[in-house]
Amino acid sequence: MSKYIHTEVDGIKLKLSNLSKILYPESGITKAEVIQYYMTIAPIIINHIGNRPLTLIRYPDGIEKNKFYSKSCPEWAPSWIKRQEIQHSEEMIPYAVINNTAGVVWLANLAALEIHPMQMLTTKMENPDHFIFDIDPPEGADFSDVKQIAYKLKRFLESYNYTPFIKTSGSKGVHIIVPIITQHTHDEMVECVKGLAKLFVQQNKDSSTLNLQKNNRDGKTLIDIYRNHMAQTTVSAYSLRAKPNASISTPITWDQLENLKHSTEINIRNIDAHLEKYGDVWKDIRKSAVPLHTHHQAIREINKEVEKKLESYLHKRDFGKTPEPRPQLNLTNQNRFSVQLHNASNLHYDLRLEDQGVLLSWAIPKGLPHRKGIKRLAIQTEDHPMEYLDFEGVIPKGEYGAGEMWVFAKGQVSWIKKTDSSHEFILDSKQLKGHFKLYKTKGEQWLIERKNEADATLLNSSIKPQLADVSKTIPSGIQYSFEIKWDGIRSLIHVLDDQIKIYSRSGREISNQFPELQIASEAFHIENGIFDGEIISMDKEGRPIFSDVISRLHTKGERSIQSAVHKNPVYCYLFDCLFLDGRNICNEPLKKRQDWLAVSLKKNNQFRLSETMSDGKALFDAAKNMNLEGIMAKDLTKPYEVGNRNNYWLKIKFRDTISVQILGYTRGNGDRSNLFGALHIATENNGSWNYLGKVGTGFDEAKMIEVLAILKVQDESKKLITENIEEAHRTIWITPKLWCEVQYASLTNKGTLREPVFLGLRPDLES
C-alpha cells in the first residue's frame, strides 16, 4: 500500500498519509478508520467546532506513544486553514480555525484525534456562547454516582432557568453544557459559573468538590469549572478520545443517560448506529441560550463591583422594616429604565437607568422636563439594585425615603453617549418617550435637559370630561369607591406651569370667571397636569349652593368679578387626574389616578381633594341628611374615557334633575306682572324637540329679575314645537340657547315633567 493518497474534499486537494498506521493498538483501529469517521461526522461536528479557535491533541504514532498538545496552528499548515490570533501573557498564538469538511479531514490526517474548541466564535471573541461543567469522578468510581450528580446539577441549573445539555466525556465523566446568549464577557461568565458551582458543591458537600488537587478530593467527584476561562478548551462534541476503544465524546439526551453504562460506551464502532437512531441531539442547542443569572447568595462572590455600588443602598435600609427589594439577582445589561413617582418628604420623580448590573439613579424634584431645551435639577442618588425597576409600595415612616412609590414609566433606554459627567439617551416606553441629556454640574447635582418636544396634545387642547350613567341603586363590590356628588360646575383644570386654564363641560374656557383659582404653584406640587373636578359655592354649613356658582359664571366685567370673588368665593373639588407631568395617564386604573391626584395637590387652598369612601350606603345616608344632591360610585379598576358617557362612574341621586333648554317664556301677571310666568322647556334630540312643559316655581323675585334680564336679550324665534300649549298667546319664543337645571317628581303620560322646580341656569352647557 502506498504511503500517500491524494484526494479532494470541498474542491480542496488533500494528501493523506500513513493510512494503515494503527492509532488505537488495543482495538486495532487504523488512521484510515479515524479519517473515515471524521469525514462522515464533519457536517455535524462543524456545528460544534466551526469558526472557533481550536487546541489539538495529536497522536501521530498512536495513543500509546507521544502526544503533541498543539495550540499554535503549525506554520506549514495550508493557507486555506484560517488562523485566529490570541494574545497570551507572553506571546501571540495563532490558533487553527476550521469551518469545512476539508479542514476536519486535514486535522484527522494530522492524527489530531482530540479536537478541543474554545467557548466563543471568532466572530465574537469577547463573548462566550456557553459554559461547561466537567463532572470528573475519582478513579474507580461507579458511573451511577456520576449520573446522580449530573441529574442533580441539571435540576440545580434548571432552577436558574438554564437549559443544560449533556454529553459523555468519552472518558470517566460527563460534560454539562449550558448555552448562553453572546452578550457576556468571559470574566462575567466565569464569575457567574463560580458562584453557581460553589453553591452547588456547598449543597452537595458529601459527593462533590471544586478541589483540583487529586489527593485533596477525598474520593469526591470534581466539578471542574476551570475550563470556562477565556482561551481554555474542552473536548468537542463528536471528537474521538485517546482511549483504548476510540470512544467519542457524544451528546446524549437526559433520558439516554439513564441507560448509559459508562462514558466510553459510545465509540467509533457504534457511533453510526447511535446517530441513525437519535441524530444530533444538540442540533438546536443555541435556541436554548439565555442570559446569565446569579443566585443571591453568590452575589458577593460573583459581582463584587455591583455589590460595591450597592453598598450605600444596603447601608441606608433596614430590610426588616422596608418593603423595598433586597438585591438578589445579577442580571445582564438589558438597557432598561424606570421613572418612579416618589411621595417622600418632597414629591419627586426618580429616574433609574440600567448600567452594568445596577440602576443609576437621580431624584428629579420637578420631574422630567416636557419641553425641548428645558433643564431641570437632578440629584444623583445611590445606585439601586435591578429589582428596584418594578418596585411599588409604601416605605414606612422613619425609614429612608419614607412614603409611597409608584412606577410612573418603564421601558428601554438607548444610550447615545455616556461619559463620567454627561449621559445622553433616549427613553422609550408606552408611557413616556423622549431624548434627554444629563450633565453633572457639582457633586451630586446634575441637570437634565430635554432634547426633543414631548407629546402634550391632551394638555394643550380643550377636551370634554367623562360622563356618568344614572343608577337607582348603590353598587356593591370592593372595586367601587364613593364620593359626594358635588353640585356645581363640572370643569377640567389644565395646569400649565404657572398658569391654570379652566374648561366647562362643553369645552368652553371659563378661566377668567374664577381669578381665585389662578394659584398653580400654591395649589399643586406638579408642573403640568389635567384634573377633573367641580367648581362650587358653599353656604355657611358647607353645602354647595348651585345658583351661587352659576351666578359666578355669568358675572361680567373685571370689577364685578373681583367683587364676586370677595363676596362669593368658589372652591374646586378635584376627583380625577388625566395627565401628569408630561404623561397621559387616562389608561391607568382610577385607583392609581386617585392616588396620583392626592399627592399632586397641596393642602389649604381653593383646590380640594374630593374625599373617597368605601362604604357607599353610609355616605348615601349622610349625604341625604345633609340635603346634598346625591353620591357618585366609581369603578376603581377602570380607565378614563375623555368625552364619553359610560358606567365606570354612576350617579345616585336623591331626586331627579334634568338639564334642559329654554324655548320661551310666558309674560307674568298678577304679582309677576313685571316679571315672567314660567319657562317652556325641552330637550333636543337630533334636531327635533321633546317638549317637557313649563317650569314656574323655584324662583324668588331676585332670581326672576336676573333670569328675565337674560331672557330679554335673547333673539326671538318662531315656535319650534308642534304641541298645542297653554298660554300660547302670552308666550315669547326665543332662540334656544339658554340651558337650565330642573328638578321634577316624575314624567306625566304626555312625557312632560310632573312638579318641575327651577334650580338654576346652566351657562356652562351653552356652546
Nearer to Mn ion, 45 or 363 (CB): 363
Least distance (Å) between residue 344 CB and Mn ion: 6
Least distance (Å) between residue 653 CB and Mn ion: 43
Site for Mn ion in 346-405 (CB under 5 A): 350, 363
Contact segment (CB under 5 A) with Mn ion among 344-352, 384-392, 466-474, 683-691 equals: 344-352
Nearer to Mn ion, 125 or 407 (CB): 407
Least distance (Å) between residue 534 CB and Mn ion: 33
Least distance (Å) between residue 405 CB and Mn ion: 7
Nearer to Mn ion, 362 or 689 (CB): 362
Contact segment (CB under 5 A) with Mn ion among 201-209, 335-343, 367-375, 492-500 equals: 335-343
Using CA atoms in the order 497, 501, 506, 508, what is the torsion angle rounded to 10 degrees? -130
**Cβ-proximal residue to Mn ion, closest one:** 342
Question: CA-to-CA distance for 257 and 151, rounded, in angstroms?
Answer: 9
Question: CA-to-CA distance for 679 and 693, rounded, in angstroms?
Answer: 8
Least distance (Å) between residue 401 CB and Mn ion: 5
Q: Are 395 and 384 a contacting pair, CB within 8 Å?
A: no
Q: Are 487 and 536 a contacting pair, CB within 8 Å?
A: yes
Nearer to Mn ion, 363 or 577 (CB): 363
Least distance (Å) between residue 400 CB and Mn ion: 10
Least distance (Å) between residue 381 CB and Mn ion: 7
Contact segment (CB under 5 A) with Mn ion among 113-121, 329-337, 338-346, 406-414 equals: 338-346
Nearer to Mn ion, 136 or 382 (CB): 382
Least distance (Å) between residue 350 CB and Mn ion: 4
From the number of C-beta atoms within 10 Å of its C-beta (0-12, 13-18, 19+), residue 556 rates as exposed
Nearer to Mn ion, 342 or 423 (CB): 342
Question: CA-to-CA distance for 680 and 692, rounded, in angstroms?
Answer: 8
Give the distance, in angstroms, between the CA of residue 95 and the centroid of all CA atoms in the same chain: 44
Question: CA-to-CA distance for 625 and 434, rounded, in angstroms?
Answer: 52
What are the φ and ψ backbone dihedral angles of 455, each rounded to 5 degrees? -80, 110
Nearer to Mn ion, 339 or 753 (CB): 339
Question: CA-to-CA distance for 64 and 29, rounded, in angstroms?
Answer: 13
Q: With b meaning 16 or more CB within 10 Å and e meaning fewer, what string describes 459-482? A: beeebebbebeebeebeeeeebbb
33 sits near Mn ion (criterion: CB under 5 A): no
Nearer to Mn ion, 33 or 350 (CB): 350
Nearer to Mn ion, 231 or 344 (CB): 344
Question: CA-to-CA distance for 349 and 81, rounded, in angstroms?
Answer: 58
Supply the DSSP string of 23-88, one letter for each residue.
EETTTTEEHHHHHHHHHHHHHHHHHHHTTSEEEEEE-TT-TTS--EEE-BPPTTS-TTSEEEEEE-
Nearer to Mn ion, 340 or 661 (CB): 340
Least distance (Å) between residue 429 CB and Mn ion: 19
Q: Which residues contact 349 (CB under 8 A, 6 or more apart)?
A: 339, 340, 341, 342, 363, 364, 367, 368, 408, 581
- Residue 685, SS3 per DSSP: strand
Rg over alpha carbons for the chain, rounded to the nearest Å, is 41
From the number of C-beta atoms within 10 Å of its C-beta (0-12, 13-18, 19+), residue 79 rates as exposed
Contact segment (CB under 5 A) with Mn ion among 245-253, 256-264, 325-333, 337-345 equals: 337-345
**Size of residue set near Mn ion by CB under 5 A:** 3
740, amino acid identity: C
Q: Is 261 a residue of the active site? A: no
Question: CA-to-CA distance for 634 and 625, rounded, in angstroms?
Answer: 22
Determine the straight-line distance between the first and last CA of the chain, rounded to whole angstroms.
107
Question: CA-to-CA distance for 463 and 492, rounded, in angstroms?
Answer: 8
Contact segment (CB under 5 A) with Mn ion among 18-26, 54-62, 334-342, 746-754 equals: 334-342
Nearer to Mn ion, 397 or 472 (CB): 397
Length of the chain (residues): 767
Question: CA-to-CA distance for 137 and 169, rounded, in angstroms?
Answer: 11
- Angle of the 186-203 helix axis to the 143-158 helix axis, nearest 10: 120
Q: How far is CA 13 from CA 105, 590, 656, in A?
A: 11, 76, 99
Nearer to Mn ion, 23 or 341 (CB): 341
317 sits near Mn ion (criterion: CB under 5 A): no
Least distance (Å) between residue 323 CB and Mn ion: 15
Contact segment (CB under 5 A) with Mn ion among 341-349, 516-524, 557-565, 667-675 equals: 341-349
Q: How far is CA 373 from CA 208, 306, 492, 528, 662, in A?
A: 61, 34, 28, 17, 51
Contact segment (CB under 5 A) with Mn ion among 8-16, 73-81, 307-315, 340-348 equals: 340-348
What are the φ and ψ backbone dihedral angles of 267, each rounded to 5 degrees? -145, -175
Site for Mn ion in 439-478 (CB under 5 A): none
342 sits near Mn ion (criterion: CB under 5 A): yes
Helix or strand run (H / E) with residue 130: strand 130-136
Site for Mn ion in 612-631 (CB under 5 A): none
Least distance (Å) between residue 342 CB and Mn ion: 4
Least distance (Å) between residue 578 CB and Mn ion: 25
Q: Which residues contact 635 (CB under 8 A, 6 or more apart)?
A: 479, 480, 590, 647, 648, 649
Nearer to Mn ion, 346 or 499 (CB): 346
Least distance (Å) between residue 361 CB and Mn ion: 8
Nearest Cα to 550, choosing from 716, 698, 714, 744? Answer: 698
Instruction: Kindly state the cell numbers that stand for 128.
Output: 462566550
Question: CA-to-CA distance for 358 and 307, rounded, in angstroms?
Answer: 9
The single residue of 154, 167, 309, 485 carrying the catalytic annotation is 485
Instruction: Kindly state the cell numbers that stand for 4.
Output: 500517500
Q: Which residues are catalytic?
A: 485
Q: Which residues bind Mn ion (CB under 5 A)?
A: 342, 350, 363
